Structure 1
Amino acid sequence: MTGPENDDFPYTSVVLTGGSSGIGKSFVSHIGKLKRDVFICNLSRREPEQVLDQLNLRHIETDLSDPASRGAALAQVLATLRERAPEGPVLLINNAGLGKFGTFGETDIASHQNLIEVNIAAVVELTAGLLPVLQARGGTIMNLASVVAFQPTPFMACYGATKAFVLQWSYALRAELAPQGVRVLAVCPGSTASEFHDRAGMQRGGWGDRFTQTSDQVVREALAALQTDRGHVVTGWLNKVQCALLSRLPLRLSTWLSHRVLSSYVPTKPAN
């Protein structure tokens, strides 16, 4: 599936979280090539240096796990939009996300709290803060969920639950905001070739790696979905089949299958 053509991308500005690596980095690159004059505002810890000199991009250093940092960043985003791109539809991409792999009782609770801050609190707060702009100018809220939103995820219990929240919340917002001219789209990628697995503490070579997409593939499908009226898109045809099947199974069975798959990512303990 290919992305939209220039004429099919009506947005004059894009607000993006996590644009310095992985899927977010691909969003910056693809959108910049798609529409050279679009203004992109990125919120992340690091600058997307590899494209910064090529695009009309403003980077705002942000710790999305910290409420104070999020609040300060939001104020800068609003001021920057007024100054640099005061008119036209806005595309908000809530892309940034954290994962934590391991049994819940054996992992640091602080890591789960940070995960919830980034995956839920930051998404809700940024959306709420930009909603008046979206309502006034029109636009789309694109939330990055995941294929794990469709079933419980042992070894990633909190992460999977946050992505289920994002998917359900996106559909609820979609119904509320449609009459106001604001669209909401949830994007559900599967395993993606990025730094996510390493940061989450997952061993490479698990069963699900055979479904791995590149970040560019995910972004092309996400941008193409903007041309449809769908509420969510699962990227990758194998992931589509997987989600369609799992969503029809009893929770007990889908949890068992998920446990079998995710257990293949448990790091092997060295022999004594």
Structure 2
Amino acid sequence: MNSVKEVYGNRWTAWWRRNSTVLQVAATISCNLGYLLETGYTRTAAALSMVSLGGATLYYISKRRWKIKPRDLVVITGCNSGLGYSLAMHCRAQGATVLAGVRETAVVLKPNAVVESLKDRGVIVHQLDITSEESVREFGEKVKQLSEERQLALRALVNNAGVMVFGEFEWQTQELAEYQLSVNLLGTMRITRELMPIIRRNGGRIVVVSSHCAADPLPGISVYAATKAALHAWATALRVEVGKYGVNVVSFIPGGFISESNIMRRQRLHFDEMERHMSDEAKQFYGDYFTRYAEYFSQADLSSGNQDNIKVLSNSRIYETFDSALLEIHPSAVYRCEPWRYFFYRIMFKNTPMWIRDRLVQCFVNAPSWQIEKQ
């Protein structure tokens, strides 16, 4: 009984969040109409009624959604943990046929707990390394096979796979920079190109998981931010290119959820790699700053546990925003799910002088401070 109440409670909460603004506007207009009629301004009240009716109609049309059916295939990349895993479970619970791309289907000689969990819920799992042409080609064949055998329509490709490495630019090796570029940007392009014929044929949708760092780059993840900014530019141009073929491209910004993701599970190893390749001059210059920095940002790595630790996002707003990005018939270009803190900083970043903005950025990241040792 409690679970049923919880489900309906969540539905009512989601409904209220989606419609609270329009309900408040409707209440305000109704009060104004009542006042105008009461005071004898009938023509003004009639005009306001027509304008309100037209606005409500346009709003309803713009917010219409298509309903997920079992024949709808949703392909999601990067489902090993965090957002990808959670979205795969969510889409499957909504009734869609879900194909989840994962880096590996087994860990050494034992089953992968994430993969087994996905399969238990009816999600179809297939190995996918978006940095490999061969792996992407095999994944594309799997999508074609599923579509033909089960008579499925590819409704959406959710480009979720991504990696992030913390560390100042000078510390990050060329290999680490190319690793992020290969996965976040080139890998997303590769899988999208492979599936584009099926997407066009079915009038599907391309959902690109972006980041607030695309527009507001942060220190410590300059390379990651560069890949996300490039991804945003690509998605913006692609939206116009494929729009004439009936394909929608939307960017989905889910906000921060590092504590519920394994995206930083290798951060400690990345810092070790940076230190091994750091010159003697750099080690002497940075001193204990690098050590303090590495210890601070490795905390997320330690909290993530082992590779089989299953991370499920608990923020219901992420799922609500994702549903809008996935299902709205006339989608917006960008969908954001961000806490008030992110919203506040984003506005301040864009409307303050550069020297104030830079200080705000440092407060937002809250990284260890740089202290020059006294000689």
Given the two structures, how large is their TM-score scaled by the length of structure 1? Answer: 0.81
Q: Note the C-alpha offset of 1:105.
A: 1.8
The amino acid across from 1:218 in the alignment is I
**Partner residue, 1:210:** none
In structure 2, what is the Cα distance between the partners aligned to 1:30 and 1:109?
A: 37
More strand by share: 1
In structure 2, what is the Cα distance between the partners aligned to 1:111 and 1:22?
A: 22
**Partner residue, 1:257:** 360
- Structure 1 pair 263/236, CA: closer, same or farther in 2 (3 Å)? closer
**Partner residue, 2:345:** 242
CA contact (8 A) 1:16 1:41 kept: yes
2:141 aligned to which of 75, 81, 101: 75
The amino acid across from 1:9 in the alignment is I
Q: Note the C-alpha offset of 1:7.
A: 5.8
**Partner residue, 1:269:** none
Q: How does 1:84-233 map to 2 (within 5 A)?
A: 84=150, 86-192=151-257, 193-200=260-267, 202-204=297-299, 214=314, 216-226=316-326, 227=328, 229-233=331-335
Residue-by-residue CA offset, 1:105-134 (whole Å, 9 max, x unaligned): 222321221111110111111111111111
In structure 2, what is the Cα distance between the partners aligned to 1:240 and 1:54?
A: 35
Larger radius of gyration: 2
Q: Note the C-alpha offset of 1:97.
A: 0.6
CA contact (8 A) 1:148 1:164 kept: yes
The amino acid across from 2:214 in the alignment is A
- Structure 1 pair 265/182, CA: closer, same or farther in 2 (3 Å)? farther
In structure 2, what is the Cα distance between the partners aligned to 1:249 and 1:170?
A: 28
CA contact (8 A) 1:6 1:34 kept: no
The amino acid across from 1:2 in the alignment is A
In structure 2, what is the Cα distance between the partners aligned to 1:204 and 1:234?
A: 27
**Partner residue, 2:117:** 50
Residue-by-residue CA offset, 1:187-233 (whole Å, 9 max, x unaligned): 1122213122444453458xxxxxxx746542331112332521011
**Which residues of structure 1 form unaligned runs of 5+?**
206-212, 267-272
RMSD: 2.9
Residue-by-residue CA offset, 1:87-106 (whole Å, 9 max, x unaligned): 43521000011000001222
Find the residue that maps to 1:176 and give its secondary structure: helix
Matched, 1:23 2:83: yes
CA contact (8 A) 2:118 2:125 kept: no
Identity of aligned residues (%): 23
The amino acid across from 1:194 in the alignment is S
CA contact (8 A) 1:170 1:184 kept: yes
- Structure 1 pair 196/51, CA: closer, same or farther in 2 (3 Å)? same
Residue-by-residue CA offset, 1:221-249 (whole Å, 9 max, x unaligned): 11123325210111124234433442445
The amino acid across from 2:138 in the alignment is A
Residue-by-residue CA offset, 1:10-53 (whole Å, 9 max, x unaligned): 67101110112100111111111111xx2211111245321312
CA contact (8 A) 1:151 1:251 kept: no
The amino acid across from 2:97 in the alignment is F
In structure 2, what is the Cα distance between the partners aligned to 1:139 and 1:21?
A: 25
Instruction: Count residues with an aligned counterpart.
Output: 255
- Greater relative contact order (Cα < 8 A, sep 6+): 1
**Which residues of structure 2 form unaligned runs of 5+?**
1-12, 19-63, 106-114, 269-296, 301-312, 370-375
In structure 2, what is the Cα distance between the partners aligned to 1:29 and 1:171?
A: 28
The amino acid across from 1:39 in the alignment is T
**Partner residue, 1:8:** 67
Given the two structures, how large is their TM-score scaled by the length of structure 2? Answer: 0.60
